[in-house]
Amino acid sequence: MNRLIIVTFSLYVFLVAPLHARAQEAFPNRPITIAVPFPPGGVADLTARPVAAAMERVLKNPVIVVNKTGAAGAVGMSYVANSKPDGYTLLMALSSISIIPEADKLFDRQPAYTMDQLVPLALISADPTVLVVRGDSPWKSVKELVADAKKRAGEISYSSSGIYGTLHMAMEMFSHAAGIKLKHVPYGGAGPALTAILGGHVDALASGPAVVIPHIKANKLRPLAGWGAKRVASLPEVATFKELGYDAEFYIWAGMFAPRGTPEPVLKKLRDVIRQTVQEPDFKDAMTKLETPIAYLDAPDFQKFWDKDAKMLTDAVKRIGRIEEKK
Amino acid sequence: MLETLQNLYLGFSVALSPAAFLYAVVGCVIGTIVGVLPGIGPLAGISLLLPASFGMDATSAIILLAGIYYGAMYGGSTTSILMRIPGEAASVMTCIDGYEMTRKGRAGPALAIAAVGSYIAGTVSVVGLMLLAPPLAAFALRFGPPEYTALLLLGLLVLAYMTGGSISKSLAMAALGLLLGMIGIDPMTGFFRFHYGIVELGDGIGVVPVAVGLFGLSEILLTAGQETPPKVMQPRLADLLPSREEWRDSTWPIARGTVLGFLIGIIPGSAHIIASFVSYAVERRVSKHPERFGQGAIEGVAGPESANNSATSGAFVPMLALGVPSGPIPAVMLAALMVHGISPGPLLIQQQPELFWGFIASMYIGNVVLLILNLPLVGLFVNILRVPYPLLYPAILVFCVLGVYAVNSSVVDVWIMIVMGALGYLLRKFDFETAPIVLGVVLAPMLEMSFRQSLAMSSGNYAIFIHRPIAVFMLGAGLFLVLLSLLPIFTRRVNWRRLLGLATNSDLEKEDNR
């Protein structure tokens, strides 16, 4: 009898009680980390920081942004994909989240993560990239650039945020649509890529509008076209590629993800919090200042958006194929 | 000139307002702490405080964040000098002679010179920033991949002067460093190299874990292996300040470090690390007693510590004058400005004079604050050495692990540090210098990237390096340095085998008899 009591008691202590304790812990009770897989100052970083600040106010719980950079974002994304699915580690990813697994496939390597290791929480912003050339360059329109590029195949150069990175993809879609060949000089991030065109080391760049607008105003850069379905609000005179007859559409979007396996109540709570976050006046204000349009979509719509976008990007990666060393 | 003075007056009226002054002080204090803690560098510190700056006005925010940046350069020398642990990557060179000075009981003077050198470099380079920003920034942008490649090659040639020991051993260590730097994703094709299934290695091996392991951990292991424990230091007050001779020896290194650091700092990239390496090598080169380097030469502390400080001001040149993110830290600060609705760009100085001049003035004030803060701290920090080793070393180990983990929140980094500690221990037992490994790890990814970018720009034509004037000039300077170091072989008939450390005993006798 005695033994039975002991066994039951210890069973309770070791098996049942922890479950109780866990169930009673309200989420969140410790700081939440938003991992940004890119260096500070980029689009993902600039979106994550106001999001974190606003989430902190909504949740009354610390929300920290951590830059886990490397391998064009693969390090940070696989970090979140493989972290404990408890809602305390979230990911602020860009469009490139769909590119990396495809590139891994291309090189027959163990993928750093797969897309189904992550569940979408919400789309925060979607910014069409714009094509800029140097202010002192001869090209006044996309047509002139394309005509010149056809004459001198592979001589007009562009910088990008890295091989198979977002800015590389945008350019690849454009050059594919226009049937031209450009010279690609990859850099280690969007910041260095911008520095490169300002220094005159490359001829063209695809970039988010926010960071290039001051340089456009100062006549250092000239916008030629945008990748969006609509024109960029702050650059109303710049036509879209679609208007010009090139089938290229590309957005640098920023969305939040959680590791798959995160409990449903936690996911729901996070989605609610993000919904409130994007309506915070301070957050709206911050995004306006950053000239990054908020394009909030809740998880189900975001999933649809993501599927469509991923298809477009994986097609582009397949087209580029493996980049071989010089023959 | 008058206009500059008027602007500066405007700046000081902004920077001396109570709020701005307070933020400058807070930034400097946080920066010092961030710098002192091993591993956590200014980037981590600034990133952590960025959200806090959203609520301030733009000028206060930028003053606070800049304070952390240059404050960290002051603090970074502390653990390098006292414990041979680089507080952040730009303090690696300070470890070598700074720690030797500590072992000779001259920790106080080393710390004091580091603080004074930082102060002079900080203040003078702000003058440079104030007067020369727009023209220099335009020049800095001309540094594209080919120029960067040439600069880095020059940096590698500097290796030959870095250590006192045999050149062949130094070169072997540098080669090891360069090989370690090859680990990670290929920047041009996306191939993973030597990653053994560890995704974190895709980003390559970080400088901080390597430096903390090779310098700090190996030192702790070596001390633990000694038969007689080292004497606990009892620093006296009189030993805290540099002697007249030490002041004199430091004057020129500080001056050279300041100019060199500023010029290297304006080049986009992680220039403040390279600035400290180059400064150390230059000091060793111009010294009349190069053999003192590595044995506790105060010039080896004064030069690099000044250089890394003035490089921070240099890094602000392209950032403020052109709105160009010239490195990871200026990129975060630009982000802070954008969050406040200020578009950083070529028109920033005209459109936001209060911000620009307030920022300049705050740097003058901040450097004074840091000097006042750091000189008394010398007395405090030196007392750490009174702690008995059985207590001190475990505590240092804990700080190393925490600090290295904190940089990327990565356990892989901690393992790298531990492996490097063991490697450093073995290498030092066999009398190899470890500094060239760190230099190799720093330079390899940058060199590879810029070299291959250059070739991508020219479609594989190597002539690009001789078609660009700045690159040609630097490659020429490098070649000149090499020839200069070979000169004694011909003129004084020095045995070249001796230079390489391959001389046999009979060779040496012959030479001595001559």
ipTM of the complex: 0.79
* Interface check B326 vs A, CB under 8 A: yes
In this model, does residue A18 exceed pLDDT 80? no
- Strand stretches in chain A, DSSP E: 32-36, 63-67, 89-94, 118-128, 130-134, 157-160, 183-186, 204-207, 221-226, 251-259, 294-298
List the structure tokens of B42: 């200014």
The yes-or-no verdict on residue B412 having pLDDT over 60 is yes
A100 in Cβ contact with A164 (< 8 Å) = yes
Residue A325 exposure: Cα atoms within 13 Å on the Cβ side: 4
What radius of gyration, in Å, describes the C-alpha atoms of chain A?
Answer: 23
Q: Give B328 or B421, the one with higher predicted confidence.
A: B421
pLDDT of residue A321: 79
DSSP assignment letter at A240 = B
- Global confidence as pTM: 0.80
* pLDDT for the residue numbered B169: 83
| Residues making up chain A, counted from first to last | 327
Residues 6+ apart with CB under 8 A from B91: B35, B76, B77, B79, B80, B276, B304, B305, B308
Is the Cβ pair B51, A52 closer than 8 Å?
Answer: yes
Summarize the confidence of residues B481-500 as an average pLDDT. Answer: 65
Closest partner residue to A46 (CB to CB) among B197, B338, B341 is B338
Within a 10 A sphere around the Cβ of A313, how many other Cβ atoms?
A: 22
Confidence check: pLDDT of B51 > 80: no
Q: In this structure, is residue B127 part of a structural domain?
A: yes
Report yes or no: A170 and A162 within 8 Å, Cβ to Cβ.
Answer: no
In the predicted model, is pLDDT for residue A5 greater than 70?
A: no
- Is the pLDDT assigned to residue B162 strictly greater than 70? no
DSSP conformational letter for B460? T
| Min Cα–Cα distance to chain A from B305, Å | 26
Distance CA A149, CA A158 (A): 12
Question: How far is it, in rounded angstroms, from Cα A280 to Cα B167?
Answer: 62
Q: What is the pLDDT of residue B225?
A: 80
Strands, DSSP E only, in A241-293? 251-259
DSSP string, B393-450: HHHHHHHHHHHHHHHHT-HHHHHHHHHHHHHHHHHHHTT--SHHHHHHHHHHHHHHHH
Q: Are B330 and B319 in contact (CB under 8 A)?
A: yes
Residues of B in contact with A186 (CB under 8 A): 187-188, 453, 456
B340 touching chain A per CB within 8 A: yes
3-state DSSP percent of chain B in helix, strand and coil, to 5? 75, 0, 20
CATH architecture of A130-244: 3-Layer(aba) Sandwich (3.40)
Write down the domain spans for chain A: 31-126+252-320, 130-244
Determine what percent of chain B is predicted with pLDDT higher than 90: 17
pLDDT number for residue A326: 40
Q: How many separate domains does chain B show? A: 1
Residues 6+ apart with CB under 8 A from A96: A72, A73, A164, A165, A166, A169
Whether the per-residue pLDDT at A17 is higher than 60: the answer is no
Interface test with B, best of A51, A83, A183, A215 (most B CBs within 10 A): A215
What is each CA distance from A227 to A216, A231, A243, B378, in whole angstroms? 17, 8, 10, 57
What is the span of the domain harbouring residue B260?
1-143+250-392
Q: Inspect the interface and report whether the beta carbons of A70 and B343 lie closer than 8 Å.
A: no
**Exposure string over B165-194, b if 16+ CB within 10 A, otherwise e:** ebbebbbbbbebbbebbbbbbbbbebbbee
Lowest mean pLDDT among A154-163, B20-29, B229-238: B229-238
Is B92 in the A-facing interface, judged by CB distances under 8 Å? no
Which amino acid, one-letter code, is at B35? G
Contact yes or no for B323 and A324 at CB 8 A:
no
Residue type, A146: V
Average pLDDT over every residue of B52-76: 86
- Give the pLDDT score at B507: 56
Report residue A251: phi and psi, to 5°. -125, 140
Q: How far is Cα B215 from Cα B97, in angstroms, rounded to an integer?
A: 12
Report the residue from A194, A199, A215 with minimal CB separation from B143: A199
Does residue A22 carry a pLDDT above 60? no
pLDDT tens-digit series, residues A27-53: 888 889 999 988 766 778 888 888 998
At A199-212, the pLDDT tens digits run 889 999 999 888 88
pLDDT above 80: residue B200:
no
- pLDDT surpasses 80 at B472: yes
CATH class, range A31-126+252-320: alpha beta
Question: Does B192 contact chain A (CB < 8 Å)?
Answer: yes
CB nearest to A41's CB, from B145, B191, B331: B331
Per CB-CB distance under 8 Å, the chain B contacts of A45 are: 332, 335
Q: Is A188 on the interface with B (CB under 8 A)?
A: yes
Q: In chain B, what residues touch A41 (CB-CB under 8 Å)?
A: 325, 328, 331-332, 334-335
